[in-house]
Amino acid sequence: MATGTIKKVVSDRGFGFIAAEDAKEYFFHRDGLDSSLNFDRLIGGERVEFDVEASPKGPRATKVRAA
């Protein structure tokens, strides 16, 4: 499990980016959010926990949940 903050949300496209504590940036899709988060109410700076999985375009955040 990794932790970080929401860096950017592109609400009209259904995705965003997380700035992780390991100094990496991870892509996330609205389908990868836990039920504890509402994509339409996400804003930059919110602390989150997440898992990282491999994807064809590189690592991405899944199971994103409120920290």
pLDDT in tens, 10-67: 999 999 999 999 999 999 999 999 988 999 999 999 999 999 999 999 999 999 999 9
| Residue 51 contacts residue 3 (beta carbons within 8 Å) | no
Which pLDDT value is given to residue 36?
85
Query: Topology of domain 2-66, per CATH?
Result: OB fold (Dihydrolipoamide Acetyltransferase, E2P) (2.40.50)
Which pLDDT value is given to residue 65?
96
Give the span between the Cα atoms of 43 and 62, in whole angstroms: 17
| Residue 51 contacts residue 2 (beta carbons within 8 Å) | yes
